[in-house]
Amino acid sequence: MSLELDKVTVTVHRATLLREVSLQVQPGECLGLIGPNGSGKSTLMRCMAGLRKPRSGAIRLRDRSLFAMTARARAQQIALVEQQADTTERLTVREAVELGRTPFLSPVRGWRAEDETRIEAALQAVEMTALADRLWHTLSGGEQQRVHIARALAQAPKLLLLDEPTNHLDIRHQLALLKLIHDLPITRVIALHDLNQAMSCDRLALLDGGRLKAIGRPCEVLTEAIVRDSFGVAASRSIDPAGKHVLHFSHAV
Ligand SMILES: Nc1ncnc2c1ncn2[C@@H]1O[C@H](COP(=O)(O)OP(=O)(O)OP(=O)(O)O)[C@@H](O)[C@H]1O
């Protein structure tokens, strides 16, 4: 599922949050979204999910305008895991994950065995099967985050958008989640703060002050000069024994 943004500009009152951002996400690609705090990553994610309409510019999902689609049609294709998601409902973990199947249900299309299978697989993928009957509000931050991801997986999206999904997760669950995302055969956009984790994406898009500053292969985008300029950090880069580029940060500049 391809996604194309053409000169997307978002304003709030007099502030411009995104300025003429144009990019294409190719089918099956994992595009990492990086940038300092406040650079516009979450705003761009919400635009890509169809939750925020740009003031100008176009967003097309496989050649179709995102905003010409109904919310239900969008939800059948796109899943978004937001940075801060909460619910006041008294839900169990399983019920929270079942919400991922809502876009596919209708009066003529009830709950099926296929939905059940997807719920079980999603719970298993994030290692939450054992906690399936626990109440959502009793979970830790990291466990809640894993449930959000399970809900998005249960949605079986063609485009998966993840806004800092490793937030709250311990290092084992961070690595397990990144591997899970890496192995998914669908189009993915993932906002990450950890620049070394971002190195594993197929390509990176760097936002700075609401503008797209660079897009390309991770080793092209995350140069020492760009890290200094956009993130204000002195860094050096090396290649580890597995052939992966690794950034070493020394101090703020
Ligand atoms: N409703 C709003 N009114 C005014 N400014 C806003 C509004 N929403 C977001 N902003 C501002 O827009 C900018 C971009 O915010 P956004 O959340 O997209 O950044 P981000 O790159 O995701 O940041 P972070 O890395 O801190 O999560 C920020 O400066 C933020 O303060």
Q: What is the pLDDT of residues 222-239, one digit of tens each?
A: 999 999 999 999 999 999
Q: Which residues of the chain have pLDDT under 50?
A: none
ipTM of the complex model? 0.96
Single-letter residue type at 75: A
- Does the Cβ of 12 fall within 6 Å of ligand 1? yes
- Does the Cβ of 15 fall within 6 Å of ligand 1? yes
What pLDDT, on the 0 to 100 scale, is given for residue 142? 87
Instruction: Kindly list the structural domains of the chain, giving each domain's residue range(s) and its CATH number in brackets, ordered by start.
Output: 1-77+157-219 (3.40.50.300), 88-156 (no CATH)
Encode pLDDT of 81-105 as tens digits. Answer: 998 767 667 899 999 999 999 999 9
What pLDDT, on the 0 to 100 scale, is given for residue 34? 98
Answer whether 0.90 is exceeded by the pTM. Answer: yes
Q: Of ligand 1's atoms, which has the minimum distance to the CA of residue 193?
A: 25
- Does the Cβ of 17 fall within 6 Å of ligand 1? yes
What pLDDT, on the 0 to 100 scale, is given for residue 32? 98
